[in-house]
Chain A
Amino acid sequence: DAKTTQPTSMDCAEGRAANLPCNHSTISGNEYVYWYRQIHSQGPQYIIHGLKNNETNEMASLIITEDRKSSTLILPHATLRDTAVYYCIVFNQAGTALIFGKGTTLSVSS
């Protein structure tokens, strides 16, 4: 599976959009980009995934660059409850399990 690079930490003001970047320059054509988050002491929570088109659901939007070497997770109106570690994972769906890195710690403040 391809590796990902994320900033260690980011800050965001409550009510503003949080844009979390992820680099995956070695991604191959059949690998998806998945995003999970982990709120303190809880199990990780699935957010969204995509292959090459942009995706949106009730939680977030995922923007993948045309060359697929990077992506951005957008939380459109961050709240204090969005404070968490966010993991960007590249995954081949023919594979078996996700590989979690260290992720980005997002701190949302009022």
Chain B
Amino acid sequence: NAGVTQTPKFQVLKTGQSMTLQCAQDMNHNSMYWYRQDPGMGLRLIYYSASEGTTDKGEVPNGYNVSRLNKREFSLRLESAAPSQTSVYFCASSERSRGHEQYFGPGTRLTVT
């Protein structure tokens, strides 16, 4: 039982490049989330998926797209990376029937130059 896994762990992009961050959970959770965390700040929600087949914007969705591929997987895509997207990205999942105990992955550290 790996919990929430994220790939890659580290990534360096040039401005304008695109990439997809992958997230998978093996806890059979319905809801999944993408957050970003900038230095010295709390986490901010980018997008979430309340259940398979649905996605909704969070607090800071601009510049990102998401895909809930199936119940296990939720990917985050940067179409044209910008230096302002340099951050640590965390994926999380939760089972709504148990409240909002969210389980987080280890994070992806992204630098855009």
A9 to chain B, nearest CB (A): 13
Range for the number of chain B residues in contact with chain A:
20 to 34
A43→B41 CA distance, assembly (Å): 13
- The one of B42, B58, B105 in contact with A101, judged by C-beta atoms closer than 8 angstroms, is B42
Question: By the criterion CB–CB under 8 Å, are B90 and A93 in contact?
Answer: no
Instruction: Tally inter-chain residue pairs, CB-CB below 8 A.
Output: 54
Knowing A32-B99, A96-B56 touch, does A43 contact B107 (C-beta < 8 A)? Answer: yes
Q: Which residues in window 15-64 of A have CB below 8 A to B?
A: 32, 34, 36, 41-46, 49
Chain B positions near chain A (C-beta within 8 angstroms): 4, 33, 35, 40-45, 48, 50, 56, 58-59, 90, 92, 99-107
Chain A positions near chain B (C-beta within 8 angstroms): 32, 34, 36, 41-46, 49, 87, 91, 93, 96-103
